[in-house]
Amino acid sequence: MKALAKSLAESVRALVRGYVALFRLSWAEMLQYRASVFLWTLWSLAGPIIHLAVWTAVIEAEGALQGYDRGSIVAYFIIQSIVYHFTGAWQAYEFSYLIRTGTLSVQLLRPFDPSHYIVANNVAFKLINLVWLIPIWTGMVLYFRPEMELTWQRALLFLISMSLSAILYFLWAHCWAMVAFWTIRASAFFEFTDWVGYFIGGGFAPIALLPGGLREAVVYLPPYYWTGFPIEVAIGAVEPGMVFTGVVVTSLWIVLLFLIYRILWRQGLKRYGAVGA
């Protein structure tokens, strides 16, 4: 038992040291391309700001929609910009390049699964962007003046739900990245499903504004839990009792997507090894 515990502790320490090294490497890369990183950050803010302006104009003309007045719709899309930043993942666009160019072969020779590098790169991108995103978000709050009562309990639930949403979306993108072992169009398939998820999951508008049948169906699908759910938790649109249910559903989707990813990864490596880059 002691030997097993010692071996496990050594494995954990090795994993931590590896992630520290990968994170430093990713951080250095982000600093080299900070102008590009900044432009990508601004682009990620465009959608929420445009939707905020459109729905604010609609509500001011038509009145409150499904319980959303001007203040709550402003809060929704400001929180959406935060959720988009912390849940974003883009490896589906990059993985096919690694396979086509043979760069994946180099990464396979390293002591870590290439997925660990992708995780470190993802985290470094999100952290370094906070340098300019925090002032931007602060400015948006001061200018648009959302109506939202964010207690510490709700803030904690929001952090939990958003963290799970980030893992869920990362695994969703990762599963599509693995499809690149079979087709160079994996990123196109991912982008199509991403846009569908954006529409039905609370990206274009809160799901309360969707038609009744569709609204009832999307609460069982992953797009809602990586977009709409954490936003609604933050603004108080989800009843406290339903937050736990949402966390459980998100966790179940995470487990399922992780299993799918591992199956695709193992089968893809066999194909990659047999065919070559």
Per residue in 157-204, pLDDT tens?
999 999 999 999 999 999 999 999 998 888 899 999 999 999 999 999
Question: What average pLDDT score do residues 209-221 get?
Answer: 87
- CB 56: neighbour CB atoms within 10 A? 17
Which tokens is 53 given? 């302006």
> To which H or E segment does residue 68 belong?
none
**Measured between alpha carbons, how far apart are the two ends of the chain, in Å?**
44
pLDDT confidence of residue 274: 47
User: Above 90 in pLDDT, residue 253?
Assistant: yes
How many other C-beta atoms can be found within 10 angstroms of the C-beta atom of residue 65?
16
Give the residue-averaged pLDDT of 204-208. Answer: 90
Helix 152-178, helix 228-235: angle, nearest 10:
170
Task: Supply the pLDDT for residue 23.
Answer: 77
* HEC secondary structure over 189-218: HHHHHHHHHHHHCCCCCCHHHCCHHHHHHH
Number of neighbours of residue 120 by Cβ within 10 angstroms: 21
The DSSP bridge partners found for residue 65 are: 68
pLDDT at site 77: 94
Please name the residues in contact with 227: beta carbons below 8 A apart, sequence gap of 6 or more: 80, 83, 84, 87, 165, 197, 198, 201, 202, 203
Q: What pLDDT sits at residue 2?
A: 64
- When the pLDDT of each residue in the chain is averaged and rounded to a whole number, the result is 86
Rounded CA separation 134/70 (Å): 23
pLDDT band at residue 7 under the 50/70/90 scheme: low
Identify the CA nearest to 164 among candidates 86, 273, 274.
86
Question: What string of DSSP letters covers 85-130?
Answer: HHH---HHHHHHHHHHHTHHHHHHTSSS-HHHHHHHHHHHHHHHTH
Provide the residue range defining the domain that includes 252: 2-275
- Cα–Cα distance for residue pair 55/45, rounded to 1 Å: 16
Which of 78, 85, 80 lies closest to 137, judged by CA? Answer: 78
Number of domains making up the chain: 1
DSSP conformational letter for 131? H
Checking if the pLDDT of 4 tops 70, the result is no
The dihedral formed by the CA atoms of 198, 203, 204 and 210, expressed in degrees to the nearest 10: 90
Q: How many residues does the chain have?
A: 277
CB 47 within 8 A of CB 88: no
CA distance 206 to 227: 10
In tens, the pLDDT along 25-63 reads: 777 777 777 677 777 777 778 888 888 889 988 888 888
Mean pLDDT calculated for residue range 93-113: 82
| Helices 70-87/34-62 angle, 10° precision | 160
Residue 276 is predicted with a pLDDT of 45
pLDDT of residue 273: 65
Instruction: List the structure tokens of 46.
Output: 């465009």
Q: Which range has the worst mean pLDDT, 132-136, 167-171, 186-190, 236-240? A: 236-240
pTM for the full predicted model: 0.89
